[in-house]
Amino acid sequence: MEGVVEEQQQAHAMEKKAGLRLIPVIIANEVSERIVSASVGANLIIYLTTKYHLGAASSAIIIFVYLAAANFLPVCGAIVSDALLGRYLMVTLTLFSCTIGTTLLCLTSVIPSLTPLDCNLPNQGGCASSTPVQIFVLCASLGFMALGASGVRPCCLAFAEDQIAHWDEARKDRALRALFSWYYVSVGFSQIVAITVLVYLQDKMGWKVGFMVSAAIMASVTLVNLAVSPFYVKVKPQKSMWAGLVKVVVVAVNNRHLELPGANHGVQFHSLPGSTQLVPSEKMRFLNKACIVRSRAGSNADEEESVIKSTCTVEQVENLKSALSVMPMWSAMVMSFLLQSSSFGVLQAATMDRRIGTTRFQIPAGSISIFDTMTFTVWSGCYDSHILPLLRRVMGRQRVLTLKQRMGIGLFLAVASTAVASAVEARRRGVAARMSALWLAPQYVLMGLSGAFGAIAQIEFYYAVLPKSMGSFVLALLYFGAGVANIGGTVIVKLVNVVTGRGGADPWISDDLDRGRYDLYYLLLAVLGAVDFVYFVACAYLFHETTQNTSLEAAVADGEAEEMVELRG
């Protein structure tokens, strides 16, 4: 009776402590981080080329590395949060990190000694080069910001769910639907605010004002998070699913010399209570060894118990098999992130006519990606409610596009956007001042459509084919893919300039856009994307896994549910 009373008291305390009241604060944490990182990322190449006097290629490499860190670290942050620190502490520490990063970046624009002396002709011989100390402070600021993303991005949504985890199922389901809707709307809103308001402040009122606003936003959110800390529900860290995946590999390696017989002679396969017995299959027999327990005749109980403790559960092995099974499809979609991550459109826009009509108002160069963000937001928001019903009526069937087909369309549109960028850049060379920056809009619209098709379909695809227990693995795959794409972009930029700059020739990615051949660089990316598209088609043809996540399947309307079950498009 005492235990029951104690549980009721704890439930009552949690009811008073958490709930929907604190969820806006948690969402504001991630929205603020995304506003700051998106505004910095959108205009960073202008800051590096004008204030630090770096070349276009060097600036692009710094940006690629920063973006790679911001995409890789959330995977590590999710693991550390689940296994060691817990979501509250992870979010709080990384908010401080992001605040430190934005403050350091602000100081680079305030303290003259942290940037080279200004020059009348940026990127020319008369400009002073950046010192190692100046580059170190700049990279440190970006590093702290990337570290801030490592905890805020993967943990905020899950932390918001923790606040209502003690509710009854019906009430919690209604709240979760509202939470997810508001979360995605807020993230989209943050991107729009970043590339319009903050980029405008940076462009028109100076870097000092723009970066001060970013630092003030992060500092305010960090303090508010601390102020409401006593009212949060803080779930203790538990054993992470990631640790189980690592354990399977370790145990399988240790058991690699064991032979799996056709019949279970002296060998048992153990699993969690209530689950089915593992049956050795011809596929991935190496991983099956992670579950094997050899029963020796005449061995004592203590010896057998020690062997059993070193094995893995069937669920852990099957999770790793599922993760490995989607790797070919994942690898084929990495190129779509690379094609969408180019920052050179901002440099192109800076040389073009950015006036709107006959007015004096000019679009900031860093805001040119608004066409990408708006297209993604509008298309993804209208797809289920308006576009999909229209396609069903036109095509006369319920199942319009499979998830793999949507992913393929996204990859194809990414290739098309790069091809269009090459054509626009070929026209821009030599007539930039007389050419409207709105010519860049089509390539950004195609990028937005590529993300709306490809990125969203990837999330749904992984959720459908992976076990429900691996939900956190889905976003990790996306972040990791974007990080690999950023590293790949760095390597391609470096190789292109090394190869094309031989013999004293102007490299394709030159500091002077008119002397470089950015059109050929875009064309090279389009060719690589076309090759990857063929690889994607082959992977899609060979992938025959069926859905494991039946709860997601039930949540998809009408024909889309059938699409989830088949996944053989």
Mean predicted confidence (pLDDT) in 52-78: 85
- Please check whether residue 121 is in contact with residue 127, taking contact to mean a CB–CB distance below 8 angstroms: yes
Q: What is the predicted pLDDT for the residue at 303?
A: 46
Question: Is the model more confident about 201 or about 177?
Answer: 201
For 63, what's the count of Cα atoms within 13 Å in the CB-facing half-sphere?
28
Q: What is the pTM of this model?
A: 0.73
Alpha helix stretches (DSSP H) within 429-558: 441-465, 471-500, 518-542, 550-555
> At 293, is the secondary structure helix, strand, or coil?
strand
Average the pLDDT over 450-462 and give the result.
84
- Express each pLDDT in 121-147 by its tens digit: 555 456 778 888 999 999 999 999 999
Instruction: In whole angstroms, give the CA distance from residue 293 to residue 278.
Output: 12
Beta bridge partners of 541: none
pLDDT value at residue 443: 92
Q: Using one digit for the tens of pLDDT, what is the confidence trace for 196-248? A: 888 888 888 888 998 999 999 999 999 999 998 888 888 887 666 777 777 78
pLDDT by residue (tens digit) across 462-507?
877 877 666 667 777 888 888 888 888 888 988 998 898 887 788 8
Is residue 310 predicted with pLDDT exceeding 60? Answer: no
Determine the Cα–Cα distance for residues 537 and 407; give it in Å rounded to an integer.
Answer: 10
pLDDT of residue 557: 39
Into which CATH architecture does domain 320-552 fall?
Up-down Bundle (1.20)
pLDDT band at 295 (very low <50, low <70, confident <90, very high): very low
| Percentage of the chain modeled with pLDDT above 90 | 17
Contacts of 113 by beta carbon, 8 Å cutoff, 6+ apart: 134
| Residue found by looking up tokens 């145990």 in the block | 251
Q: Which stretches of 297-399 are DSSP H helices?
A: 301-309, 314-325, 327-340, 344-350, 370-382, 388-395
127 vs 394, residue with greater confidence: 394
**What's the confidence (pLDDT) of residue 291?**
62
Residue 462 confidence (pLDDT): 82
Mean pLDDT of the chain: 77
Q: Which helix (H) or strand (E) holds 466?
A: none
CB proximity list for 66: less than 8 A, separation 6 or greater: 41, 44, 142, 145, 146
What's the pLDDT score for residue 105? Answer: 93
pLDDT of residue 98: 94
CA distance 85 to 78: 10
Centre a 10 Å sphere on the Cβ of residue 409 and count the other Cβ atoms it contains.
17
At 416 the pLDDT is 94
Please name every residue paired with 321 in a beta bridge, in sequence order, or none if there are none: none
**What is the pLDDT averaged over residues 175-194?**
75
pLDDT (tens digit per residue) in 11-56: 555 555 556 788 888 888 988 998 888 888 888 888 888 888 888 8
Interval 421-437 mean pLDDT: 82
**337 and 265 in contact (C-beta within 8 Å)?**
no
Tell me whether the CATH fold assigned to 12-117+129-238 matches the one assigned to 320-552.
yes
Report the alpha-carbon distance of residue 271 to residue 284 in Å, rounded: 17
For residues 483 and 487, what is the distance between their CA atoms, to the nearest angstrom?
Answer: 6
Give residue limits of the domains in the chain.
12-117+129-238, 241-312, 320-552
Residue 299: which pLDDT band, with cuts at 50, 70 and 90? very low
The H or E element containing residue 292 is strand 292-294
1.10.1750.10, 1.20.1250.20, 3.90.1150.10, 1.10.600.10: CATH of 12-117+129-238: 1.20.1250.20
| pLDDT class of 435 with cuts at 50, 70, 90 | confident
The confidence band for 526, taking pLDDT boundaries of 50, 70 and 90, is very high
